[in-house]
Amino acid sequence: MSDHPDTRETTRWTALLELLGIHRITAQEIRAETMFLGNRHQGRIAEGARLELKASGLSAYRVALLRAVIRAVPAQDAAGADQ
């Protein structure tokens, strides 16, 4: 789990989305979590995210963030290979 607090501003719109189970994950949050997962899981980001998804007691936001990381990792790897 991430050690830093959620600093996003809560508005009526974001509160409604949260109530409906829709979590807005920013690219910055995905990048930060990717770095943390890579550090914790020796560079195996997607595998680490999948392992952490198996933990009990995760918040809905955390689950959404880990799933977003899993979706983003192959796209980031492909972009890095083109350079």
Question: Which residue has better confidence, 80 or 14?
Answer: 14
Cα angle for residues 42, 46, 48 (degrees, 5° grid): 50
- Indicate the average pLDDT of the chain: 80
State the Cα–Cα distance between residues 69 and 31, nearest whole angstrom: 8
The predicted pLDDT at position 75 comes to: 59
Could you tell me if 49 and 68 are in contact, meaning their C-beta atoms sit under 8 angstroms apart?
no
The predicted pLDDT at position 68 comes to: 93
Record the pTM.
Answer: 0.67
- Give the count of beta carbons closer than 10 Å to the beta carbon of residue 49: 22
User: 50-67 burial, b if ≥16 CB within 10 A, otherwise e?
Assistant: eebeeeeeeeeebebbbe
